Structure 1
Amino acid sequence: MFLGTYTPKLDDKGRLTLPAKFRDELRGGLMITKGQDHCLYVFTREAFTELAKKVASAPLTSEAARVFQRNLFSGTDEQNPDGQGRIVITPELRRYAGLTKDCVVIGAFTRAEIWDARAWQRYQDEHENTYAQAQEEVLPGLL
């Protein structure tokens, strides 16, 4: 389970240190892929395999399915954190997410997300006020 917000730095070699709280779950390896909203998703291998099976089962006759499959699978990189909990983010994934030195890693329960710090702040500014309204759509009658 991934929870919380962390602010690691991306070094000159494209390495990012994972939050200590995430390292045990990701120790066996992880998959980094393009996420929605121009962030990166970080999944355990097991969670990514489950997602990949669902995505791969979409009909090839659907153009939207083919576009999604191509972007997801071609944009995925398998990583093993080093002894210090660092991963290397490929130049293509850094470009996609607009990553600079200052990053934000957030927990999104089933995955972690890596954001450029300025992009995350813009996203928060745009969506923070709709959080209460979204609860009715996502969890009607539960809270």
Structure 2
Amino acid sequence: MEESVYGQYDRTIDSKNRVALPAKLRDALGSKFYLTIGMQNIVELRSEAEFAKLTADLTSKSAFDKNANLLKRFWLGNTHEIELDSMARFVLPKNVITKAAIQKDVIFIGVGNSVELWSAENFEKYNEHMSVEELENAANELAKYAR
């Protein structure tokens, strides 16, 4: 993904579990991308290039590394190759819908080099419980690693 993606986009899943990818995100991800369950059961979407980078990094770890194997099984085992239909929609796999507690309304969130897909209800709860203090602590922690 050459450009950073950002913003929030509300969408609704249809009766066949299809959802339309917003045009701005489609431009960044392409018509073929990778969808997986990430940490905290958040759905992650990555372009082919971003997926290749992450996969190369993950698979370069020793086959004897217990943590690497755990992550490979979880992350790669829950990854789906996605291709958009002629109306820029894709089908959300059943296991993804279940794991991410997705019902009808979803929110796509651009987070730089990837896109997150949340159930609207879970994202609302997340935002309600996020405090200014948590944001400040996160910013201070990241500032330690600033270039």
Structure 1 length-normalised TM: 0.92
Which is worse superposed, 121-130 or 107-116?
Answer: 121-130
* 1:133 partner letter: N
Mapped partners of 1:38, 1:134: distance in 2: 20
Choose from 96, 100, 105 the match for 2:99.
96
Which is worse superposed, 28-37 or 58-67?
Answer: 58-67
Corresponding residue for residue 137 of structure 1: 141
* 2:23 partner letter: A
Which is worse superposed, 16-25 or 45-54?
Answer: 16-25
Corresponding residue for residue 9 of structure 2: 6
Comparing both structures, which one devotes a greater share of its residues to strand?
2
* 2:19 partner letter: L
Corresponding residue for residue 106 of structure 1: 109
Q: Residues 128 and 87 of structure 1: is their aligned pair in 2 closer, same or farther, counting only changes over 3 Å?
A: farther
**Length, aligned pairs only:** 142
Mapped partners of 1:57, 1:141: distance in 2: 24
Corresponding residue for residue 86 of structure 1: 89
Which is worse superposed, 58-67 or 43-52?
Answer: 58-67
Which structure 2 residues correspond to residues 1-143 of structure 1 after superposition, within 5 A? 1-129=4-132, 130-140=134-144
% identical aligned pairs: 25
* 2:22 partner letter: P
Alpha-carbon distance, 1:28 to partner: 4.0
Structure 2 length-normalised TM: 0.89
* 1:42 partner letter: L
Report SS of the residue matched to 1:47.
Answer: helix
Mapped partners of 1:20, 1:131: distance in 2: 29
Unaligned runs of 5+ in 2: none
C-alpha RMSD of the superposition: 1.6
Mapped partners of 2:108, 2:80: distance in 1: 17
Which is worse superposed, 5-14 or 80-89?
Answer: 80-89
Unaligned runs of 5+ in 1: none
Mapped partners of 2:103, 2:120: distance in 1: 8
Which is worse superposed, 54-63 or 133-142?
Answer: 133-142
